[in-house]
Amino acid sequence: MNIALIAHDKKKDDLVRFAMAYTEILKDHTLFATGTTGLRIMEATGLTIHRFQSGPLGGDQEIGAMIAKNKMDVVLFFRDPLTAQPHEPDVSALIRLCDVYAVPLATNMGTAEIIIKGLERGDISWREIIAERNAEASKDFKK
């Protein structure tokens, strides 16, 4: 599964600790993250992470593009609800895309833990069915 890891500045420490706690689950998946968040998680856990730009510089939109192409299966986005974000429209667009494409989204540690445990149990395997269906549709379209 493809998993996006994103955190606002005041939540980066929380996401790093979360990734450290669940490294054994995360290591079996393909990980993507926005700039600094990805670097901090890689340094703390040794996980391999494809890093995009930082959120305000377009990283949120890069992840959004993957969602729109059904190439992202889970988004863990630790948001800071108490601090105004200059790129709030990008954040809202990312959340909207998760809703449109039925991508499980956690915006806090509590929900992230439920999703990661579900991922470990195979509860999110339906995303693989969607990916297979989209691959077949793509083949049919190219014919």
Give yes or no for a contact between 91 and 60, defined as CB atoms under 8 angstroms apart: yes
Our answer to whether residue 60 is catalytic in this structure is: yes
Q: What is the 3-state secondary structure (H, E, C) of the chain?
A: CEEEEEECHHHHHHHHHHHHHCHHHHCCCEEEECHHHHHHHHHHHCCCEEECCCHHHCHHHHHHHHHHCCCCCEEEEECCCCCCCCCHHHHHHHHHHHHHCCCCEECCHHHHHHHHHHHHHCCCCHHHHHHHHHHHHHHHHHC
Active-site entry in 60, 73, 90, 99:
60
Instruction: Report, as residue numbers or ranges, the catalytic residues.
Output: 60
